[in-house]
């Protein structure tokens, strides 16, 4: 356990300390949350991977994504387990005992995940599971409704943003490195649509919590983003004294 992790438990007077990181797609949430959790010796909770896992399953089973009742039923009955990778960045995702870690980042899953994740019954099932995973554990959780819905009482809330152009560049680079080739313009349009769906959905829309710290990392690299957020966390813990 890191010294900061021990301090967070001691100063907050509780066993769990929750850091919520929200923001739009490709803003760097996953990388930042993973590295921050590793730095603090906290559990890394990638909620986006959980919705991607359900999307993958729905597509595999040929479920009509307009049938909200079927999607909600599937979410309630699906067993999802996530574990941080030990040797490299990312999350190991298991659905009903099957490792689908390499299957949830495809363009097809990315295209449909926002459609599935706006279904009320799906979100209810996932929020219940996310809270269960984080029960009595210190976590760094990232997603789109962490600080507003999943953990509204989180000890630290971050809203991470970057320009659309920079987010498209990052996603293009990420996909190319995985051998998935798209144009930057295609990715930009996809991100614009996803932003619209995430922000305008009726249930748990993407929005900044009033008490969240806004961090724009358009011109920051990963190390600089991590250092900035780590500074916010340290300051928060210091103020608990």
Contact (CB, 8 A) for 60 and 46:
no
Q: Is 31 annotated as a binding residue?
A: yes
Annotated ligand binding at 25? The verdict is yes
* Angstrom distance (rounded) from CA 114 to CA 68: 13
User: Binding site annotation covers 77?
Assistant: no
Q: Is 30 annotated as a binding residue?
A: yes
Collapsing DSSP to helix, strand or coil, 203 comes out as coil
24 is in an annotated binding site: yes
Q: Nearest to residue 18, comparing CAs of 178, 131, 183?
A: 131
Do 187 and 175 touch, CB atoms closer than 8 A? Answer: yes
Query: d(Cα 154, Cα 236) in Å, to the nearest integer?
Result: 12
How crowded is residue 69: how many other Cβ atoms within 10 Å of its Cβ? Answer: 9
Which residues are annotated binding-site positions for ATP?
23-31
Which residues are annotated binding-site positions?
23-31
């Amino acid at each position: 356990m890191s010294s900061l992790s021990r301090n967070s438990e001691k100063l907050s007077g509780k066993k769990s300390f929750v850091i919520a990181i929200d923001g739009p797609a490709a803003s760097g949430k996953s990388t930042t949350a993973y590295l921050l959790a590793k730095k603090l010796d906290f559990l890394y909770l990638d909620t986006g991977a959980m919705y991607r896992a359900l999307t993958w399953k729905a597509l595999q089973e040929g479920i009509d994504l307009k049938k909200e009742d079927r999607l909600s039923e599937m979410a309630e009955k699906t067993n999802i387990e996530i574990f941080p990778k030990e040797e490299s960045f990312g999350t190991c995702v298991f659905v009903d005992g099957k490792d689908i870690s390499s299957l949830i980042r495809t363009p097809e899953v990315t295209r449909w995940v926002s459609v599935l994740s706006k279904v009320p019954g799906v979100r209810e099932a996932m929020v219940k599971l996310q809270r269960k995973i984080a029960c009595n554990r210190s976590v760094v959780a990232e997603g789109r409704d962490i600080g507003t819905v999943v953990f509204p009482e989180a000890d630290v809330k971050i809203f991470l943003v970057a320009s659309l152009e920079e987010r498209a560049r990052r996603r293009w680079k990420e996909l190319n490195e995985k051998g998935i080739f798209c144009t930057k313009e295609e990715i930009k349009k996809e991100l614009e649509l996803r932003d619209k769906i995430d922000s305008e959905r009726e249930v748990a829309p993407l929005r900044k919590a009033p008490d969240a710290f806004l961090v724009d990392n358009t011109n920051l690299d990963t190390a600089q983003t991590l250092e900035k957020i780590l500074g916010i966390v340290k300051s928060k813990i210091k103020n608990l004294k």
